Structure 1
Amino acid sequence: MNQTAADDRSLPPALADVARAEFDYADGEGIDFEPYDAFDSAEETTDWLRQWTGNPELDGDAYRVFGQDGTGGLAAFWYGRPGRPLVEQPVVFMGSEGECGVVAGNLFDFLWVLADGCGPLEAVLYEDREPRPDAALTALAERHATTPRRPARDIIAEARAEFPTFAEDIDGLCR
Protein backbone atom coordinates (compact mmCIF):
# COMPACT_ATOMS: atom_id res chain seq x y z
CA MET A 1 0.00 0.00 0.00
CA ASN A 2 1.54 3.26 -1.13
CA GLN A 3 0.26 6.01 1.14
CA THR A 4 1.33 9.61 0.78
CA ALA A 5 0.69 12.66 2.93
CA ALA A 6 -2.46 13.48 0.94
CA ASP A 7 -4.06 10.06 1.49
CA ASP A 8 -6.59 9.07 4.13
CA ARG A 9 -5.58 8.28 7.66
CA SER A 10 -6.07 4.52 7.78
CA LEU A 11 -3.48 2.57 9.77
CA PRO A 12 -1.15 0.27 7.83
CA PRO A 13 -1.87 -3.40 8.78
CA ALA A 14 1.26 -3.71 10.94
CA LEU A 15 0.34 -0.61 12.93
CA ALA A 16 -3.24 -1.86 13.31
CA ASP A 17 -1.74 -5.00 14.89
CA VAL A 18 0.37 -2.80 17.20
CA ALA A 19 -2.85 -1.03 18.25
CA ARG A 20 -4.27 -4.38 19.38
CA ALA A 21 -1.11 -5.40 21.26
CA GLU A 22 -0.72 -5.32 25.03
CA PHE A 23 1.93 -3.01 26.44
CA ASP A 24 3.16 -3.66 29.95
CA TYR A 25 4.38 -0.54 31.74
CA ALA A 26 5.81 -2.81 34.48
CA ASP A 27 6.13 0.00 37.03
CA GLY A 28 8.42 2.01 34.77
CA GLU A 29 10.54 -0.92 33.61
CA GLY A 30 8.36 -1.77 30.60
CA ILE A 31 7.01 0.21 27.66
CA ASP A 32 5.07 3.42 28.35
CA PHE A 33 3.05 3.41 25.12
CA GLU A 34 -0.63 3.56 24.32
CA PRO A 35 -1.16 2.97 20.60
CA TYR A 36 -4.27 4.38 18.91
CA ASP A 37 -6.60 2.34 16.73
CA ALA A 38 -6.68 5.22 14.20
CA PHE A 39 -4.52 8.19 13.30
CA ASP A 40 -5.48 11.51 14.86
CA SER A 41 -7.45 13.67 12.45
CA ALA A 42 -5.74 16.43 10.46
CA GLU A 43 -7.42 18.99 12.72
CA GLU A 44 -6.29 17.28 15.93
CA THR A 45 -2.75 16.97 14.59
CA THR A 46 -2.62 20.64 13.60
CA ASP A 47 -4.02 21.72 16.98
CA TRP A 48 -1.46 19.55 18.79
CA LEU A 49 1.49 20.84 16.75
CA ARG A 50 0.44 24.45 17.23
CA GLN A 51 0.10 23.94 21.00
CA TRP A 52 3.35 21.99 21.24
CA THR A 53 5.35 24.65 19.38
CA GLY A 54 3.35 27.74 20.33
CA ASN A 55 3.35 28.53 16.59
CA PRO A 56 -0.16 29.27 15.23
CA GLU A 57 1.09 29.31 11.63
CA LEU A 58 1.89 25.59 11.45
CA ASP A 59 -0.25 22.77 10.16
CA GLY A 60 0.16 19.10 11.01
CA ASP A 61 0.29 17.76 7.45
CA ALA A 62 3.79 16.35 7.93
CA TYR A 63 2.68 14.09 10.82
CA ARG A 64 0.46 11.08 11.40
CA VAL A 65 -0.02 10.67 15.17
CA PHE A 66 -0.64 7.06 16.20
CA GLY A 67 -0.03 6.79 19.94
CA GLN A 68 0.99 8.41 23.19
CA ASP A 69 2.79 7.77 26.44
CA GLY A 70 1.21 8.14 29.87
CA THR A 71 2.06 11.84 30.10
CA GLY A 72 0.58 12.73 26.71
CA GLY A 73 3.75 12.74 24.61
CA LEU A 74 2.92 11.65 21.07
CA ALA A 75 4.36 9.11 18.64
CA ALA A 76 3.94 9.89 14.95
CA PHE A 77 5.14 9.22 11.47
CA TRP A 78 6.92 12.27 10.12
CA TYR A 79 6.99 12.82 6.37
CA GLY A 80 10.75 13.36 6.36
CA ARG A 81 11.20 11.52 3.06
CA PRO A 82 9.08 13.33 0.46
CA GLY A 83 7.33 11.10 -2.02
CA ARG A 84 7.91 7.87 -0.10
CA PRO A 85 5.11 5.67 1.28
CA LEU A 86 3.96 6.19 4.85
CA VAL A 87 5.53 2.94 6.09
CA GLU A 88 8.93 4.21 4.88
CA GLN A 89 8.70 7.45 6.85
CA PRO A 90 10.54 7.92 10.15
CA VAL A 91 8.78 7.44 13.48
CA VAL A 92 9.27 10.34 15.90
CA PHE A 93 8.31 11.16 19.46
CA MET A 94 7.41 14.58 20.86
CA GLY A 95 7.08 14.51 24.62
CA SER A 96 4.86 16.46 26.95
CA GLU A 97 7.82 18.37 28.38
CA GLY A 98 9.34 19.44 25.06
CA GLU A 99 11.62 16.47 24.48
CA CYS A 100 11.64 15.10 20.95
CA GLY A 101 13.60 12.79 18.72
CA VAL A 102 13.61 10.24 15.95
CA VAL A 103 12.73 6.73 17.16
CA ALA A 104 13.10 4.62 14.00
CA GLY A 105 13.70 5.13 10.31
CA ASN A 106 10.47 3.41 9.24
CA LEU A 107 7.52 1.40 10.50
CA PHE A 108 9.31 -1.94 10.24
CA ASP A 109 12.31 -0.81 12.25
CA PHE A 110 9.85 0.63 14.78
CA LEU A 111 8.37 -2.86 15.18
CA TRP A 112 11.84 -4.19 16.07
CA VAL A 113 12.31 -1.35 18.58
CA LEU A 114 9.06 -2.40 20.27
CA ALA A 115 10.09 -6.07 20.14
CA ASP A 116 13.26 -5.13 22.02
CA GLY A 117 11.10 -3.70 24.82
CA CYS A 118 11.55 -0.05 23.94
CA GLY A 119 8.74 2.39 23.19
CA PRO A 120 8.90 5.87 21.64
CA LEU A 121 9.35 7.64 24.99
CA GLU A 122 12.08 5.26 26.09
CA ALA A 123 13.87 5.60 22.74
CA VAL A 124 14.11 9.37 23.15
CA LEU A 125 14.71 9.66 26.90
CA TYR A 126 16.66 6.55 27.86
CA GLU A 127 19.33 5.80 25.26
CA ASP A 128 21.23 3.40 27.52
CA ARG A 129 18.16 1.37 28.47
CA GLU A 130 18.76 -2.36 28.69
CA PRO A 131 16.77 -4.44 26.18
CA ARG A 132 13.69 -6.21 27.52
CA PRO A 133 12.57 -8.40 24.61
CA ASP A 134 8.84 -9.02 24.44
CA ALA A 135 7.74 -12.32 22.89
CA ALA A 136 4.36 -11.09 21.60
CA LEU A 137 5.83 -7.92 20.07
CA THR A 138 8.67 -9.99 18.58
CA ALA A 139 6.11 -12.28 16.92
CA LEU A 140 4.27 -9.21 15.60
CA ALA A 141 7.51 -7.81 14.15
CA GLU A 142 8.39 -11.19 12.62
CA ARG A 143 4.99 -11.25 10.87
CA HIS A 144 5.23 -7.75 9.41
CA ALA A 145 8.77 -6.38 9.30
CA THR A 146 10.60 -6.20 6.00
CA THR A 147 13.80 -4.99 7.66
CA PRO A 148 16.21 -7.27 9.53
CA ARG A 149 16.00 -7.61 13.29
CA ARG A 150 18.54 -5.43 15.07
CA PRO A 151 18.86 -4.16 18.63
CA ALA A 152 16.71 -1.12 19.38
CA ARG A 153 19.82 0.84 20.28
CA ASP A 154 21.23 0.31 16.76
CA ILE A 155 17.96 1.18 15.02
CA ILE A 156 17.58 4.38 17.02
CA ALA A 157 21.20 5.37 16.32
CA GLU A 158 20.75 4.73 12.57
CA ALA A 159 17.59 6.85 12.45
CA ARG A 160 19.19 9.70 14.36
CA ALA A 161 22.20 9.60 12.05
CA GLU A 162 19.91 9.88 9.02
CA PHE A 163 17.90 12.76 10.53
CA PRO A 164 20.46 14.48 12.78
CA THR A 165 18.73 17.88 12.91
CA PHE A 166 15.16 16.75 13.64
CA ALA A 167 15.08 18.05 17.23
CA GLU A 168 16.80 21.31 16.29
CA ASP A 169 14.43 21.79 13.36
CA ILE A 170 11.45 21.32 15.68
CA ASP A 171 12.98 23.76 18.18
CA GLY A 172 13.26 26.23 15.32
CA LEU A 173 9.48 26.07 14.80
CA CYS A 174 8.77 26.95 18.43
CA ARG A 175 7.64 30.44 19.37
Structure 2
Amino acid sequence: MAATEFGHDEGNGIDFEPYAAFDSAEETTDWLRSRTGNPGLDGGAYRVFGQDGTGGPALWCVRPGHPLVEQPVVFMGSEGACGVVAGSLSDFPWVPADGIGPMEAVEYDDLAGRPDPVLAELAERHATTPRRLAREIVLGARAEFPGYVRDVEALCR
Protein backbone atom coordinates (compact mmCIF):
# COMPACT_ATOMS: atom_id res chain seq x y z
CA MET A 1 0.00 0.00 0.00
CA ALA A 2 2.93 2.31 0.70
CA ALA A 3 3.68 2.75 -3.00
CA THR A 4 0.08 3.64 -3.83
CA GLU A 5 -0.99 7.13 -4.82
CA PHE A 6 -4.23 8.18 -3.18
CA GLY A 7 -6.02 10.78 -5.29
CA HIS A 8 -7.38 13.66 -3.25
CA ASP A 9 -9.44 14.78 -6.30
CA GLU A 10 -9.88 18.35 -5.03
CA GLY A 11 -11.64 17.21 -1.87
CA ASN A 12 -13.66 14.40 -3.45
CA GLY A 13 -11.07 11.66 -3.03
CA ILE A 14 -9.03 10.31 -0.16
CA ASP A 15 -6.50 12.54 1.57
CA PHE A 16 -4.01 9.91 2.69
CA GLU A 17 -0.30 9.39 2.17
CA PRO A 18 0.95 5.98 3.31
CA TYR A 19 4.56 5.76 4.50
CA ALA A 20 7.08 3.27 3.13
CA ALA A 21 7.90 2.26 6.73
CA PHE A 22 6.53 2.85 10.21
CA ASP A 23 7.66 6.01 11.97
CA SER A 24 10.51 5.61 14.43
CA ALA A 25 9.76 5.27 18.14
CA GLU A 26 10.89 8.87 18.66
CA GLU A 27 8.68 10.19 15.85
CA THR A 28 5.73 8.19 17.18
CA THR A 29 6.21 9.57 20.69
CA ASP A 30 6.34 13.11 19.23
CA TRP A 31 3.16 12.34 17.22
CA LEU A 32 1.28 11.13 20.32
CA ARG A 33 2.45 14.04 22.44
CA SER A 34 1.44 16.59 19.80
CA ARG A 35 -2.02 15.00 19.40
CA THR A 36 -2.69 14.92 23.14
CA GLY A 37 -0.70 17.90 24.42
CA ASN A 38 0.71 15.55 27.03
CA PRO A 39 4.53 15.74 27.18
CA GLY A 40 4.82 12.74 29.49
CA LEU A 41 3.45 10.12 27.10
CA ASP A 42 5.39 7.39 25.34
CA GLY A 43 4.20 6.31 21.87
CA GLY A 44 5.20 2.66 22.35
CA ALA A 45 1.66 1.36 21.87
CA TYR A 46 1.42 2.85 18.36
CA ARG A 47 3.00 2.32 14.94
CA VAL A 48 2.26 5.33 12.69
CA PHE A 49 2.11 4.36 9.01
CA GLY A 50 0.77 7.39 7.13
CA GLN A 51 -0.62 10.89 7.22
CA ASP A 52 -3.19 13.22 5.79
CA GLY A 53 -3.60 16.96 6.11
CA THR A 54 -4.67 16.74 9.77
CA GLY A 55 -3.01 13.70 11.27
CA GLY A 56 -2.59 10.08 10.55
CA PRO A 57 -3.48 6.48 11.05
CA ALA A 58 -1.53 4.14 13.28
CA LEU A 59 -1.63 0.61 14.49
CA TRP A 60 -2.68 0.51 18.11
CA CYS A 61 -0.80 -2.41 19.65
CA VAL A 62 -3.48 -3.42 22.11
CA ARG A 63 -3.59 -7.17 21.42
CA PRO A 64 -0.63 -8.61 23.36
CA GLY A 65 1.20 -11.40 21.58
CA HIS A 66 -0.55 -10.77 18.27
CA PRO A 67 1.33 -9.74 15.11
CA LEU A 68 1.04 -6.20 13.77
CA VAL A 69 -1.42 -7.24 11.02
CA GLU A 70 -3.89 -8.24 13.74
CA GLN A 71 -3.73 -4.92 15.60
CA PRO A 72 -6.50 -2.33 15.12
CA VAL A 73 -6.00 0.78 13.00
CA VAL A 74 -6.76 4.08 14.74
CA PHE A 75 -6.66 7.70 13.63
CA MET A 76 -5.63 10.84 15.52
CA GLY A 77 -5.84 14.24 13.91
CA SER A 78 -4.45 17.61 14.90
CA GLU A 79 -7.94 19.08 15.22
CA GLY A 80 -9.26 16.48 17.67
CA ALA A 81 -10.46 13.77 15.27
CA CYS A 82 -9.89 10.45 16.97
CA GLY A 83 -11.26 6.96 16.60
CA VAL A 84 -10.91 3.39 15.49
CA VAL A 85 -10.81 2.87 11.71
CA ALA A 86 -10.49 -0.91 11.32
CA GLY A 87 -10.22 -3.93 13.58
CA SER A 88 -6.97 -5.03 11.95
CA LEU A 89 -4.34 -3.87 9.50
CA SER A 90 -5.64 -6.50 7.10
CA ASP A 91 -9.15 -5.00 7.22
CA PHE A 92 -7.83 -1.49 6.63
CA PRO A 93 -7.27 -1.67 2.82
CA TRP A 94 -10.96 -2.39 2.30
CA VAL A 95 -11.85 1.00 3.85
CA PRO A 96 -10.09 3.19 1.21
CA ALA A 97 -11.10 0.66 -1.46
CA ASP A 98 -14.66 1.65 -0.58
CA GLY A 99 -13.78 5.33 -0.95
CA ILE A 100 -13.38 6.23 2.73
CA GLY A 101 -10.20 7.79 4.11
CA PRO A 102 -8.91 7.25 7.66
CA MET A 103 -10.09 10.66 8.89
CA GLU A 104 -13.51 10.31 7.28
CA ALA A 105 -13.90 6.91 8.94
CA VAL A 106 -13.73 8.52 12.39
CA GLU A 107 -15.33 11.90 11.64
CA TYR A 108 -18.51 10.84 9.85
CA ASP A 109 -21.32 8.40 10.48
CA ASP A 110 -22.35 8.37 6.81
CA LEU A 111 -19.77 5.93 5.50
CA ALA A 112 -21.07 5.69 1.96
CA GLY A 113 -17.99 6.22 -0.14
CA ARG A 114 -17.18 6.10 -3.80
CA PRO A 115 -15.53 2.73 -4.42
CA ASP A 116 -12.16 2.94 -6.10
CA PRO A 117 -11.42 0.01 -8.44
CA VAL A 118 -7.63 0.53 -8.25
CA LEU A 119 -7.64 0.48 -4.44
CA ALA A 120 -10.07 -2.47 -4.46
CA GLU A 121 -7.66 -4.45 -6.64
CA LEU A 122 -4.82 -3.55 -4.28
CA ALA A 123 -6.86 -4.70 -1.28
CA GLU A 124 -7.72 -7.96 -3.05
CA ARG A 125 -4.00 -8.63 -3.54
CA HIS A 126 -2.86 -7.76 -0.01
CA ALA A 127 -5.68 -8.13 2.51
CA THR A 128 -5.98 -11.48 4.23
CA THR A 129 -9.51 -10.74 5.41
CA PRO A 130 -12.50 -11.01 3.09
CA ARG A 131 -13.91 -7.96 1.33
CA ARG A 132 -16.48 -6.02 3.32
CA LEU A 133 -17.97 -2.58 3.05
CA ALA A 134 -16.14 0.23 4.84
CA ARG A 135 -19.24 0.86 6.93
CA GLU A 136 -19.21 -2.71 8.24
CA ILE A 137 -15.48 -2.60 9.02
CA VAL A 138 -15.57 0.77 10.78
CA LEU A 139 -18.72 0.09 12.79
CA GLY A 140 -17.39 -3.34 13.79
CA ALA A 141 -14.11 -1.80 14.96
CA ARG A 142 -15.94 0.90 16.92
CA ALA A 143 -18.03 -1.79 18.62
CA GLU A 144 -14.96 -3.88 19.43
CA PHE A 145 -13.07 -0.94 20.96
CA PRO A 146 -15.80 1.32 22.39
CA GLY A 147 -13.56 3.00 24.97
CA TYR A 148 -10.74 4.06 22.65
CA VAL A 149 -11.82 7.69 22.15
CA ARG A 150 -12.59 8.14 25.85
CA ASP A 151 -9.20 6.67 26.78
CA VAL A 152 -7.35 9.01 24.40
CA GLU A 153 -9.35 12.00 25.63
CA ALA A 154 -8.26 11.12 29.19
CA LEU A 155 -4.63 11.42 28.06
CA CYS A 156 -5.16 14.94 26.69
CA ARG A 157 -3.92 17.99 28.55
Q: TM-score range by the shorter chain?
A: over 0.9
Partner of 2:50: 67
Distance 1:132 1:52 in 2: 29
Partner of 1:21: 4
Which consecutive residues of structure 2, in runs of 5 or more, have no partner in the other structure?
Answer: none
Identity across matched positions, percent: 70
Shift of 1:114: 1.4
CA contact (8 A) 1:34 1:70 kept: no
Secondary structure of the structure 1 residue equivalent to 2:44: coil
CA contact (8 A) 2:81 2:103 kept: no
Partner of 1:52: 35
Distance 1:99 1:46 in 2: 18
CA contact (8 A) 1:113 1:151 kept: yes
Partner of 1:165: 147
Partner of 1:31: 14
Shift of 1:129: 3.6
Which consecutive residues of structure 1, in runs of 5 or more, have no partner in the other structure?
Answer: 1-17
Aligned CA-pair RMSD: 1.0
Calculate the TM-score normalised by the size of structure 2: 0.96
Matched, 1:138 2:120: yes
Calculate the TM-score normalised by the size of structure 1: 0.86
Shift of 1:116: 0.5
Secondary structure of the structure 2 residue equivalent to 1:50: helix
Distance 1:48 1:61 in 2: 11
Superposition pairs for residues 60-139 of structure 1, below 5 Å? 60-71=43-54, 73-139=55-121
Aligned residues: 157
Please list the CA deviations of residues 99-124 of structure 1 after superposition, one character each: whole Å capped at 9, or x if unmatched. 10000001111011111011101111
Please list the CA deviations of residues 15-66 of structure 1 after superposition, one character each: whole Å capped at 9, or x if unmatched. xxx1111111112111010111111110011112122212222100000001
Secondary structure of the structure 1 residue equivalent to 2:15: coil
